[in-house]
Structure 1
Amino acid sequence: MTAPLTPSQPPPHDSGWPPPPPHEGPAGDPITAAEVVQGLVVTAASAVAGAVLGALWVWLAPTVQLISDGKGVYLRDSEGEAAIGADGTFVLLALAFGAVAGLVVFLVRRKGGVPLALGLAVGGVLGSLLAWWLGTKLGPTADVVAHAKAVGPEVVFEAPLKLQMGAAAMLAWPLAATVVHLLLTGLFGPRDPEPGWDLQKR
C-alpha cells in the first residue's frame, strides 16, 4: 500500500526568495586591489596638479600694494579689495581644477567606485594645500618688515599672498571634483542589470 501523494508546497514568498544570483549581493561588489591602486593614482595625480594651481594663483591673483614711511608699513590703497581678490582667484581656480579632475577620472574610468571618489577628495585637499604653500613661496616674501627696509621708505612693494578664508578655499577643489564625478557617473555611467524572476522550471 502506497502513501497518498501530496502536492508540492510552493516556496515561501519572503524577502529572501528568489535568492540573488551568485554575482550579486546586498553589499554590492567588493572593492578590488586594482580599484584601490586607481584611487591612489588619482590622489597622487591631484596632489601633483596642485603645483600648477599654485603657480597660476601667483600669476593671476591681484596684488596688494604696501608702502612704508620708515616707521610702519601701510596699505597703499586702504579701500582696495585685492586681498579678497586673492581668495576669490584661488577658489575659482580650485573649482576649475576639481571639475576637470572629476571629468577626466570619469572619462578614464566610467564605472566609478568608492576608491576613485575618495582619491578625488583626498587628492583635492592635498593639491590645495600644495598650491597654498607653493603660492606663498613663489610670491613676495612673507617678511614684510625686512622687505620694507630693503626697498626703503615711500617705495611701493607687494604684500605676500594670503588666504583670508583658508578652510573654505581648501574645500573648493575636493567638492567640485567629487560632485562632478558623481553626477557624471550617475547620468552616464554603466547601469547594473535589473533583478528578475527566474521562471525556469526546476
Structure 2
Amino acid sequence: GRPNPLVQVRLLAPDGVEVPVGEVGEICARGKTLFSGYFARPDLNAAKSAYGWHHTGDLGRREPDGTITFIGPKLRMIKSGAENIYPAEVERALTTHPSVADAAVIGVPDPVWQQAVKAVVVLHPGAAATGEELIGHVKASLASYKKPREVVFVDGIPKRGPAPDYDALDATHGGGGYPGD
C-alpha cells in the first residue's frame, strides 16, 4: 500500500542505504507522529533507531508506482547459500495452485546451504496434488533457488491471529537456523 503522508518511509539495506525501486529492504519510518521509543528499553531503542529511522523489522519492496509491497518479517528470511528467500513470496506462489487452500513456508537447517525451504500445505477438500507438482509450480513463477526442497501436507496450519504461527511450525516441522537466531 501507500505510506501515510505524515510519515517518511524508506526501505533500507543493512548498511542504512536506501535500496532501489524493485529491491527488498527493511521498512523504516520517521516522523512526528511516530512513537518516541520503548519504555525503559534503551537497548531496544538503540537497535531500532539506527541511522535516524525506526526499523520495523519487516521487509518490503517499493514498486514503480510508489506503493510498498509487504514481504514479511526480517527474522523469517530464509538464507540458502548466498540467497535471501522471503517466505511470503513462496507462500503466494504456492497458493496460486488450484489445489492449495493454504500454505506456510519455513526454513529448515541444511548442512551445505545453511537453510532449505520447506512448505507446509493444506489442500482444498477433495483436491489432490503431489509435492513434486507443487515444487514445479513454484519453480515456474519464481527463481529455482526459491522452490521448496520438501512439501508436507497437513490438515491445518496453526495461526497466530490471521498469520501462520511460524514458531509452532518450526517446532513441529524442524524449522530453524534463521539469520540472527
TM-score tier (shorter): under 0.3
Query: Greater Rg, structure 1 or structure 2?
Result: 1
Q: TM-score scaled to structure 2, two decimals?
A: 0.23
Higher helix share: 1
Higher strand share: 2
Q: TM-score scaled to structure 1, two decimals?
A: 0.21
